Amino acid sequence: MKSRTQLPLWVPLISQHDFEAASYTAVSAQGVHVAFEDGQRRLCAKSGLWNTNLGYGNAQIAESIAKELETASYLPLFRTAHGKAIEASKALLELPKHQFERVLFSTSGGAANDAVMKLARHYFVLDKQPERKLVIGLSGSYHGLTFGSQALSGDDLGQAVYGVDRRNIRHIRFDDGGVELAQLMRREGHRVALVVVEPVLGSGAEVVPDAFVAALLKHRDEHGFLVVADEVATGFGRIGGWFASDEWREAPDVVVTSKGLTNGTSACAALLIGQRITQLFDNNEAVFVHGETQAGTPATCAAILATISEMERLDHNTLTQRVSEGLDELITKLQGVPRVGESSGRGCMRGILLRTKSGSSPSPNGVLAVVRRIHQAGAIVQPGPGRIQLLPALTYTQENFEELHAAMVDGLARAERDGVFA
């Protein structure tokens, strides 16, 4: 079949034959709005992809990046360092309530999760426990689409199609009171290297209960595996504070952060690594064989420093609280709209479940059809499993929430008229 669009660009995660180029080709973005080729200026309710927490086009961040590009257009971190990377690492280590010792830069959440799985396996080789190779993720989780992170993801992302190797990956439920976790530990606890937890799942905005985290940390004490908080989505004010894992009674061994880390301006992620890991590597004078060409460049590190500065200047804790309350009000109003069910998530990361006429959850294609109609009505929302996901910028105003409500009501009504919920 001949493509309708004939675009030279392969647009990710959709079939290319029915891409509506005019409606989905962005030409500019400012604040919380995105302008498209079809002439519409749409309200963004997903912060780009969870990352423009301070809105598009923040001038202070842009100026910091531009200045650093003139100072040092590029410097690598392969067997060398540069001043901005050291400065950004120090600033990042000062953010969490728990103590971490060293920062490793990456270029995306997926690549960072690949790195952390390698790090855990190397750690246990150094610890004379090479049999510890299993990595545990949560059912329904999302960690990226690189080969390793796609294997770790608990959502169905076509892993079988691509021959993704999952022989050393296990997935467990987090909503069963820790039953599957306990069963796994009894059976294979001696082989587990790493458990990776999103405090709120990126796919579906499902909250991982505090009791599950507490049980996980207790199992860590007993079995000795490492725990990673994947805060690619939940960090930098999305849930509250700097990181959701700040609320854990004990620190994870690693925090993975990305997205809001540079307000979406750079291909950037970072691993905040605890002393348990760094000390073993240092004592063995071991070299961790991982590096990425564009990781931790001077411009990227300038973006991190500027983002931290802007979040502090704007008082991100107050912003998060206000937007969370705005989402509470919006969701309450939407639950009076036909086909809208209960909600999931917390803070500024929410899901709104949809219901067909029979009361079941719509298919992935059904959710995408609803999202498209909301897009036509003037707002950009994120599809999720059986739901719409809302991740607005922390700079949202009451006027923005009113605009979002109107667009969603309109879009849902269009979907109802078009038989999407049949």
| pLDDT for res 18 | 81
Give the Cα separation of 260 and 269 in Å (integer). 9
Please enumerate, as own/partner, the contacts of 40-43 that have beta carbons within 8 Å and a separation of 24 or more: 40/378, 42/375, 42/378, 42/379, 42/380, 43/378, 43/379, 43/380, 43/400, 43/403, 43/404, 43/407
Sign of CA dihedral 226, 232, 233, 238: positive
Q: Which residue has the tokens 């458990």?
A: 195
pTM for the predicted model, two decimal places: 0.95
| pLDDT for res 396 | 98
Beta bridge partners of residue 231, listed in sequence order? 257
Q: For helices 364-377 and 398-417, what crossing angle results, to 10°?
A: 120
Count CA atoms within 13 Å of residue 285 on its CB side.
0
| pLDDT for res 4 | 53
- Residues of each domain in the chain carrying CATH 3.40.640.10: 59-313
| Tokens representing residue 18 in the block | 């029915």
- Residues of each domain in the chain carrying CATH 3.90.1150.10: 16-54+315-417
Q: Measure the N-to-C terminal CA separation of the chain; round to a whole number of Å.
A: 29
CATH superfamily of the 16-54+315-417 domain: Aspartate Aminotransferase, domain 1 (3.90.1150.10)
| pLDDT for res 126 | 98
Residues 276-312 pLDDT 10s: 999 999 999 999 999 999 999 999 999 999 999 999 9
> φ, ψ for residue 288 (rounded to 5)?
-80, 115
Residues 28-63 pLDDT 10s: 999 999 999 999 999 999 999 999 999 999 999 999
Which residues, at least 6 apart from 166, have a Cβ–Cβ distance to it below 8 Å? 151, 159
Q: For the chain, which residues score pLDDT lower than 50?
A: 1-3
Q: Which residue has the tokens 């989505």?
A: 233
CA distances from 94 to 20, 171, 179, 220 (A): 45, 32, 36, 25
User: Are 122 and 286 within 8 A, CB to CB?
Assistant: yes
| pLDDT for res 2 | 46
Instruction: Report whether CATH 3.40.50.280 matches the domain 59-313.
Output: no
Give the Cα separation of 332 and 337 in Å (integer). 10
> φ, ψ for residue 349 (rounded to 5)?
-140, 95
Count CA atoms within 13 Å of residue 386 on its CB side.
13
Q: Nearest Cα to 255, choosing from 279, 235, 276?
A: 235
